[in-house]
């Protein structure tokens, strides 16, 4: 049985409106792919939330660009609908919404058509005619399919909207780029060369929305601000680390894309490797973008070449999720019935540096698992010396280990489990004294009661401020691909059918062996 105690923030603590008080610059936000899934589900409501909190200057214009045949009124309706479905809908002052919508516009066209970009120049010119030249900042959000990314940047640059600028130059021009950034080291490098031939690295904001999540930002702060943990954050005290990103959803209408990607490209190369880097890296000298990114790259470069024998891939079969029968991956729309694409992967990684040599890091992620949960669990070694007679809860059981869990979602926070004496009188002559694990638990919502800040809201704001700390740099992307390419090539060449796991379970039994070989076992995520 587990027992738990809860942690609360000091009552004098007042939550911050957002983790930093800075406001974004006045700018024109041009959203390419404005009627797509991402825009409708995340981006438009994030823009609304920024406006509601007064973090995006009222003078900012929003221009949606996409293939769908809409006029300004049609797009405004779509924006209003997205905001109404978002978290902060109730709190938005109707006057703010109205004023935001009157500054929202739409340009229809094919994103690969050169003429669309001439139209865009005309529109932006008209909308910005009253804006002083030095304030004509432009943020281009490329929520477009990978194939459109390069032509879109080329056209924006050709028509003079997105051109090379120095970091200090005003007005600024920046591009936010959605993942996936390439599908291998080579393709990512080619894309990078193409983009860098037109703009500078500091103008590119590569999104990994995990970096915008509160608990992910907390990893470094937590390590740096607590004298208790950093001294034991190493091979002397940590037995292993488990990083899990479990989803209960399937491919959700994205079968066509997903079948060309798979779990490793979709989740590991970006989100899981970012969690790995932040957990394992040396502490940066500051929280400035390059200081943090330098340390992340160093850590990723220390990861030893992956041993394919220490990896597992699998596909979900049919099963029951949330009381509903769901079909298997091969039956999903847009997925080939003979597909070899993995919907689950587990990797064992070894880090070759003084801090981590000999400490395995286990990463796993999958779709259609038993629940939605992303967490980093740091398992500590049990004490090297035990008083005679101390056992786990049952006689003869080993003592429970200390585990620190950083919960990324759904209940953002952390917990620390430690061992404690089961109540009862201690007698010197007792043959055995049992010890039980207790969880000390901290929930962000419960402790601070802050309003939820969606990851995209934080990231959009940072891009308007020009702070790239929570975005990935090109060498991080390249290093991640370099690590994964050999495995992906090997998997692609292997015709053996993939193992399957029942939808609604925690994954294939093959993944258990990875840990059992070391005498460990996977945690039940969220437990």
CB of 263 to ligand BG6, least distance (A): 9
* Minimum distance from residue 79 beta carbon to ligand BG6 (Å): 22
Give which of 79, 132, 70, 140 is closest to 104, Cα–Cα: 79
Residue 247 or 332: the one with the smaller Cβ distance to ligand BG6 is 247
Cα distance between residue 65 and residue 43, in whole Å: 13
Beta carbon of residue 45, minimum distance to ligand BG6 (angstroms, whole number): 14
C-beta separation of 254 from 221 below 8 A: no
Question: Could you say which residues in the range 78-107 bind ligand BG6, by CB under 6 A?
Answer: none
Instruction: List, in sequence order, every residue forming a beta bridge with 147; answer none if it has no partner.
Output: none
Residue closer to ligand BG6, measured from CB, 100 or 267: 267
Cα–Cα distance, 366 to 377 (Å, whole number): 17
Burial of 87 (0-12, 13-18, 19+ CB in 10 A): middle
CB of 277: closest distance to ligand BG6 in angstroms?
17
Q: Which of 271, 379, 453, 502 is catalytic?
A: 271
Mark 319-358 with x for binding to ligand BG6 (rule: CB under 6 A) and - for no binding: ----------------------------------------
Q: Tell me which residue has its CB nearest to ligand BG6.
A: 266
CA dihedral 384, 520, 356, 507 (to 10 degrees): -160
Q: What share of the chain is helix, strand, coil (3-state, %, to 5)?
A: 35, 20, 40
| DSSP strands (E only) in 266-323 | 311-321
- Fill in the per-residue mask, 358 to 377: x = in contact with ligand BG6 (CB under 6 A), - = not in contact: ----------------x---
Number of residues that bind ligand BG6 (CB under 6 A): 4
β-pairing verdict for 238-246 and 373-380? antiparallel
Before 312, cis peptide (omega within 30)? no
Residues 154-213 that bind ligand BG6 (CB under 6 A): 209
Residue 118, Cβ neighbours under 10 Å: how many? Answer: 14
For the bound state, the minimum distance from the C-beta of residue 108 to ligand BG6, rounded and expressed in Å, comes to 27
Shortest separation between residue 430's beta carbon and ligand BG6, angstroms: 48
Q: Which is nearer to ligand BG6, 266 or 295 (CB)?
A: 266
CB of 408 to ligand BG6, least distance (A): 8
Which one, 208 or 462, has the nearer CB to ligand BG6? 208
Q: State how far the Cα of 506 lies from the Cα of 513, in Å rounded to an integer.
A: 14
| Residue whose C-alpha is closest to residue 87's, from 464, 455, 375 | 455
What's the 3-state SS for 236-248?
Answer: CCEEEEEEEEECC
271 labelled catalytic: yes
Write the Ramachandran bin of 449: left for phi over 0, alpha for psi from -120 to 50, otherwise beta. Answer: left
Residue 66 or 247: the one with the smaller Cβ distance to ligand BG6 is 247
Which of 214, 266, 462, 476 binds ligand BG6 (CB under 6 A)? It is: 266
Residue of 96, 62, 177, 46 lying closest to 453 (CA atoms): 46
Q: CB neighbours of 298 closer than 8 A, spacing ≥ 6?
A: 281, 282
Q: Which is nearer to ligand BG6, 374 or 479 (CB)?
A: 374
**Are 25 and 464 spatial neighbours (Cβ–Cβ below 8 Å)?**
yes
Residue 321: CB minimum distance to ligand BG6, A: 14
Residues forming a β-bridge with 403: 379, 417
Tokens of 354: 């003084």
Residue among 80 and 251 whose Cβ is closer to ligand BG6:
251
Q: Which residue's CB is nearer to ligand BG6, number 138 or number 209?
A: 209
Among 192, 214, 247, 457, binds ligand BG6 (CB under 6 A): 247
Residues within the interface to ligand BG6 (CB under 6 A): 209, 247, 266, 374
* Residues acting as catalytic residues: 271
């Amino acid at each position: 049985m587990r027992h738990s105690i809860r942690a609360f923030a000091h009552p004098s603590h007042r939550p911050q409106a957002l983790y930093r008080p800075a406001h974004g610059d006045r700018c024109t936000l041009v959203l390419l792919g404005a009627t797509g899934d991402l825009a409708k589900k995340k981006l438009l409501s994030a823009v609304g939330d920024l406006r509601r909190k007064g973090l995006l200057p009222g003078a900012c214009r929003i221009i949606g660009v996409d293939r769908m045949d809409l006029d300004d009124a049609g797009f405004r309706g779509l924006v209003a609908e997205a905001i109404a479905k978002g978290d902060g809908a109730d709190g938005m002052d109707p006057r703010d919404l109205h004023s935001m919508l009157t500054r929202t516009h739409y340009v229809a066209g094919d994103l690969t058509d050169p003429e669309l970009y001439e139209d865009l120049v005309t529109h932006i010119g008209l909308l910005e005619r009253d804006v002083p030249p030095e304030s004509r900042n432009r943020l281009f959000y490329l929520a477009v399919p990978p194939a459109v990314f390069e032509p879109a940047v080329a056209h924006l640059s050709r028509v003079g909207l997105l051109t090379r600028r120095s970091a200090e130059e005003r007005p600024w021009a920046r591009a936010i780029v959605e993942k996936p950034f390439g599908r291998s080291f080579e393709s990512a490098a080619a894309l990078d060369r193409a983009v860098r031939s037109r703009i500078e690295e500091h103008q590119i904001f590569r999104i990994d929305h995990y970096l915008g999540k509160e608990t992910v930002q907390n990893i470094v702060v937590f390590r740096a601000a607590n004298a208790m943990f950093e001294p034991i954050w190493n091979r002397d005290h940590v037995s292993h680390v488990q990083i899990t990103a479990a989803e209960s959803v399937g491919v959700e209408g994205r079968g066509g894309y997903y079948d060309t990607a798979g779990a490793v490209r979709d989740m590991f190369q970006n989100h899981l490797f970012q969690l790995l880097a932040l957990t394992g890296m040396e502490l940066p000298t500051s929280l400035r973008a390059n200081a943090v990114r330098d340390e992340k790259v160093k850590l990723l470069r220390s990861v030893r070449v992956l041993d394919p024998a220490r990896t597992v891939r699998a596909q979900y079969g049919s099963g029951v999720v949330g009381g509903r029968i769901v079909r298997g991956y091969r039956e999903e729309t847009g997925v080939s019935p003979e597909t070899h694409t993995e919907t689950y992967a587990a990797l064992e990684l070894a880090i070759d540096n003084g801090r981590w040599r000999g400490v395995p890091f286990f990463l796993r992620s999958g779709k259609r698992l038993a629940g939605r949960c992303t967490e980093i669990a740091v398992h500590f070694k049990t004490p090297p010396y035990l008083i005679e007679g101390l056992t786990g809860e049952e006689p003869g059981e080993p003592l429970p280990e200390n585990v620190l869990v950083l919960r990324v979602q759904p209940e953002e926070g952390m917990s620390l489990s430690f061992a404690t004496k089961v109540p009862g009188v201690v007698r010197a002559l007792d043959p055995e004294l049992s010890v039980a694990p207790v969880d000390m638990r901290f929930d962000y919502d419960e402790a601070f009661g802050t309003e939820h800040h969606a990851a995209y809201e934080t990231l959009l704001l940072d891009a308007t401020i020009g702070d790239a700390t929570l975005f990935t740099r090109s060498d991080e992307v390249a290093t991640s691909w370099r690590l994964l390419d050999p495995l992906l090539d090997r998997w692609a060449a292997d015709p053996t059918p993939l193992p399957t796991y029942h939808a609604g379970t925690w994954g294939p039994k093959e993944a258990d062996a990875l840990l059992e070989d070391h005498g460990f076992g996977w945690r039940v995520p969220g437990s």
